[in-house]
Chain A
Amino acid sequence: MIEVDNLTIDYGSSDRKLRAVEGVSFRLGQSESLGFIGPSGCGKTTLLFALSGLLTPSEGSVRIGKEQVAGPRRNVALILQNAGLLPWKTVWQNANLSLILSGDYPAHNAQDILEELGLRNVKSRFPAELSEGMKRRVGIARALSISPSVLLMDEPLASLDTLTREKIQDLFLTLWKDRGFTLILVTHDIEEAAFLGQEIIVLTEKPARIKARVANREVGSLDYRQSEAFDRTVCRLREELER
């Protein structure tokens, strides 16, 4: 269970304060998914960093499993915009980075994860040798390596071509259903939010406040994109964003 109450984040000193997020509250159960959508630069990433423990809230609180989040947690994985791969580490080292840092390396399931994501044959390559789609898969492998109970994603498929983006969205959906982690996605892509989020929170321009909540409970099948429910959600999100 994730409980966020009145989350507010300010940057800067007290006399020159810049508010990035204001009064955001929500609850999310285990194995549920939630999407955040809003204009570029509205504070979505800041919000996600607070959920991951990288930023301390100025006001309000973030709780995961009844514990206050006060720093990065071992059961919470974060996938960054460009996968956050380190160019000087190989695919194998990047995929196992979280385990190397926590001292749990090597994990018995690391090889299986690479196999599952189609990365076994490139494990000794560097990120510069990979396609953009493969880089994102390595980012996913890193997240999965710690068997997270919460997966946070910050525009994980930005700048990918449509087909690759849809393939990886399908992969996210399959992994989410199979592994049962709680999924929180931040994106500015309406269709991505509609495909992955059981609920989608629309944010205002900076500071990010909750503008609307759109329920999207039919999410969960790979052919959801072809359904009327999906189209309705997309239309509703577009209306809310333009409002």
Chain B
Amino acid sequence: MKQVLIYICSVIFLLLLWEVASITINTINSGPVLPGPYEALSQVVKNGAELQRHFLASAWRLVMAMLIALVAAVPLGLVIGHERSVDTFVSPMIYIMYPIPQVALILFLFLIFGTGSATKVAIVAMVLFFQVLVSARGAAKNISEEHLVSVLSAGANRWQVYRHVIFPATLPGILTSVRVGIGVGIAFLYIAETNTAQGMGLGSFIKRYMLFGRDRAFAGIIAMAFLGLVLYVGIDILERILCRWKYVKR
């Protein structure tokens, strides 16, 4: 309950800041450039049904991308981090590919796979994949020797070492990388959705109204922020369930 109240206070404070910024910018420009929170939130209510459809389309793409990235990157990252021979072979490839600005590859992906929903999911999954991969690898490298010896001395085989030590030990770090990845994922989803012709998704909605209906466009931005918030809270809840041991005290 206390946590919910803090969230509400935080949102109210943010809206106040937005109102101040809107008044200041509009006064300097002598005209309506940045809509205030009231105008934007009114548009959220007015366009509720349409926004909901776009919200669900974007949410589905983002969640799918996160799942694909996790399923692909977590096992690979853990193996690279724990198995030295694999690390020696694979890490140079990661070092080369990770710094490539993935935004530069978006057009190629559209050219190769078309502009459908699957491509948008693939773009976001690609971005998240590297973030999760690098985090999982780093977390697997930092596992306490004592925990490994503990299960090895009890006769654990390789699979049991992963199951009982490496995966649970790295899970908090992996979830943190997903949390960080949500912001980047939403940014890339926006880019992917605005780079195609009219379609479903909050990016398309924002692009459609940005020039001649700025209040509406900001309603789309609010929906995107809400999408991020829902996912952040979801990951927090997931972490509290899966990593309960992190939150206990004597």
Which of B149, B154, B243, B245 is A101 in contact with, Cβ under 8 Å?
B154
Interface residues in A63-111 (C-beta closer than 8 Å to B): 72-74, 78, 80-82, 84-89, 97-98, 100-102
Q: What separation, in Å, do the CA atoms of A142 and B153 have in the docked complex?
A: 12
Chain B residues with Cβ under 8 A from A98's Cβ? 154-155
Say whether B155 contacts A74, CB under 8 Å: yes
A196 to chain B, nearest CB (A): 20
Taking chain A's interface residues, is the majority helix, strand, or loop, or is none over half, making it mixed?
Answer: loop
Say whether A86 contacts B150, CB under 8 Å: yes
B170 to chain A, nearest CB (A): 11
Chain B residues with Cβ under 8 A from A52's Cβ? 153
Which of A74, A80, A86, A126 is B244 in contact with, Cβ under 8 Å?
A126
How many residues does chain B have at the interface if contact means C-beta atoms less than 8 Å apart?
A: 22
Q: B165 an interface residue at 8 Å Cβ cutoff? A: yes
B23 to chain A, nearest CB (A): 49
A237 to chain B, nearest CB (A): 27
Say whether B147 contacts A86, CB under 8 Å: yes
Say whether B153 contacts A78, CB under 8 Å: yes
Chain A residues with Cβ under 8 A from B150's Cβ? 80, 84-86, 97
Which of B155, B244, B250 is A72 in contact with, Cβ under 8 Å?
B155
Q: What separation, in Å, do the CA atoms of A189 and B183 have in the docked complex?
A: 53
Q: What separation, in Å, do the CA atoms of A85 and B154 have in the docked complex?
A: 12
Chain B residues with Cβ under 8 A from A78's Cβ? 149, 153-154
> A80-B146, A82-B146, A129-B250 given as contacts; is B245 within 8 A of A97 (CB)?
no
How many residues does chain A have at the interface if contact means C-beta atoms less than 8 Å apart?
A: 29
Q: What separation, in Å, do the CA atoms of A89 and B245 have in the docked complex?
A: 8
Q: A167 an interface residue at 8 Å Cβ cutoff? A: no
B155 to chain A, nearest CB (A): 5
Say whether A54 contacts B153, CB under 8 Å: yes
Chain A residues with Cβ under 8 A from B152's Cβ? 54, 72
Q: A130 an interface residue at 8 Å Cβ cutoff? A: yes
Q: A222 an interface residue at 8 Å Cβ cutoff? A: no
Say whether B243 contacts A88, CB under 8 Å: yes
Q: A235 an interface residue at 8 Å Cβ cutoff? A: no
Q: B153 — nearest CB in chain A belongs to which residue?
A: A78
Q: B160 an interface residue at 8 Å Cβ cutoff? A: yes
B159 to chain A, nearest CB (A): 11
Q: B76 an interface residue at 8 Å Cβ cutoff? A: no
Q: B11 an interface residue at 8 Å Cβ cutoff? A: no
Q: What separation, in Å, do the CA atoms of A130 and B248 have in the docked complex?
A: 10
Q: What separation, in Å, do the CA atoms of A128 and B248 have in the docked complex?
A: 7
Q: What separation, in Å, do the CA atoms of A87 and B171 have in the docked complex?
A: 13
Q: B168 an interface residue at 8 Å Cβ cutoff? A: yes
Chain B residues with Cβ under 8 A from A89's Cβ? 164, 168, 245
> A54-B153, A88-B169 given as contacts; is B245 within 8 A of A126 (CB)?
yes
Which of B169, B245, B250 is A131 in contact with, Cβ under 8 Å?
B250
Interface residues in B157-214 (C-beta closer than 8 Å to A): 160, 164-165, 168-169, 171
Which of A74, A86, A127, A129 has the most B CB atoms < 10 Å from its CB? A86
Q: A177 an interface residue at 8 Å Cβ cutoff? A: no
Q: A217 an interface residue at 8 Å Cβ cutoff? A: no
Chain A residues with Cβ under 8 A from B164's Cβ? 86, 89, 97, 100-101
User: Can you pick out 18 interface pairs between chain A and chain B where the beta carbons lie within 8 Å of each other?
Assistant: A52-B153, A72-B153, A72-B155, A73-B155, A74-B155, A80-B146, A86-B151, A88-B171, A89-B164, A89-B245, A97-B150, A97-B154, A97-B164, A98-B155, A102-B155, A126-B244, A127-B245, A128-B248
Interface residues of A (CB under 8 A from B): 49, 52, 54, 72-74, 78, 80-82, 84-89, 97-98, 100-102, 125-131, 142
Interface residues of B (CB under 8 A from A): 146-147, 149-156, 160, 164-165, 168-169, 171, 243-245, 248-250
Excluding A54-B153, A86-B165, A129-B249, 15 further A-B contacts by CB distance (< 8 Å) are A74-B155, A78-B153, A88-B245, A97-B150, A97-B154, A101-B156, A101-B160, A101-B164, A126-B244, A127-B245, A128-B245, A128-B249, A129-B250, A130-B250, A142-B154
Query: Top 5 closest A-B pairs, CB basis?
Result: A84-B150, A98-B154, A78-B153, A88-B168, A126-B245
